[in-house]
Amino acid sequence: MEIELRNLYFKYEHNQREIINGLSLKINKGERIVVLGENGMGKSTLFLLANGILKAQKGNIYINHKLINVNSHDIYRLRQTVGLVFQNPDVQFIAPTVEEEISFAALNRGLSTEDTKLLMDRISKMLDIQDLMPLALHTLSGGQKKLVSIASVLSLEPEFIFFDEPSAGLDYRNSQKLIYTLNKLHKKNYGLVVSTHDIDFAWEWADRIIILNEGKIAADGSVLEVLTDKRIIEQQGLRLPYIYQFMDMFSISIKDVFPRTMEELKLLRKDC
């Protein structure tokens, strides 16, 4: 399955600047994409357009080459196909308890009570949140809320999930749990798109890197193509990944080895 954003333009009311400025992008199921860029470059707006919460003033969205009319019932297909996990889970929540939050979307799209329960059981086991189900949302920690917000989106049974800066506000332990969850979802062939400022996470996790600048795509390619290009990194106000900086310092060719994590780098140092 493929989703395509073609030549999108968007600006907010009373704002003269195009936040999204002629942006075109294709995303396939199973991809792990990280979207980078400085604040104000259009990352969150792009995600809201992809999900149909915002509607572009110009341009089109296609699912499997079929045009989506965002002013018709097609919008519901788009929102079910493309799930969006907000940066702040509290903005996303609409129910008082975990169980009600996760079940809402399933029941709202017509699933029976029995099918909804089966879906909730499957999602809660996958995310290991069975113990949270009866709890009130306001009693949860930040990391727990993040998992519940992901579960809520999964109840839509989307093909793609966009995560808007999902590690914001999480401590190290919960950030690692988030990565573990993302990897689980990847194994189930979801198309995953994550916006972040964490270059080292992008280096470790992504298959594809997209950099936004002034609402346009400034770079789009593999991790190696984008995150080792010193000219692009400098132009976009970013920094090189620490692992690559270390390898560059000791003149280790990235063509010969490609460590993605500190553990892989330590093994490389032992071999050297």
Cβ contacts of residue 97 below 8 Å, gap of 6+?
Answer: 133, 134, 135, 136, 137
**Shared domain check, 254 and 167:** no
pLDDT band at 215 (very low <50, low <70, confident <90, very high): very high
User: Quick one: 200 and 250 in the same domain?
Assistant: no
Q: Of 137-141, 167-171, 246-250, where does the model show the most confidence?
A: 137-141
Please tell me the pTM assigned to this model.
0.94
- 122 and 255 inside one domain: no
pLDDT at 254 over 80: no
Query: How sure is the predictor about 15, in pLDDT bands with cuts at 50, 70 and 90?
Result: confident
| Mean pLDDT, rounded, for 4-13 | 96
**pLDDT computed for residue 255 by the predictor:** 66
pLDDT-derived band at 88, boundaries 50, 70, 90: very high
Half-sphere exposure in the Cβ direction for 119 (13 Å, CA): 24
| Rounded distance between C-alpha atoms, residue 157 and residue 188, angstroms | 12
144 and 270 both lie in a single domain: no
Strands of the 160-164 sheet, one edge to the other: 82-85, 160-164, 191-195, 32-36, 208-213, 216-222
Both 260 and 167 in one domain: the answer is no
- Give 191-205 pLDDT, tens digit per residue: 999 999 999 999 999
pLDDT at 269: 64
Q: Please state, in angstroms and rounded to a whole number, the distance separating the CA atoms of residues 62 and 25.
A: 10
DSSP letters along 133-170, please? Answer: TTSBGGGS-HHHHHHHHHHHHHTT--SEEEEESTTTT-
Owning domain of residue 246 = 241-272
The total number of structural domains that make up the chain: 2
Instruction: Give yes or no: residues 122 and 142 share one domain.
Output: yes
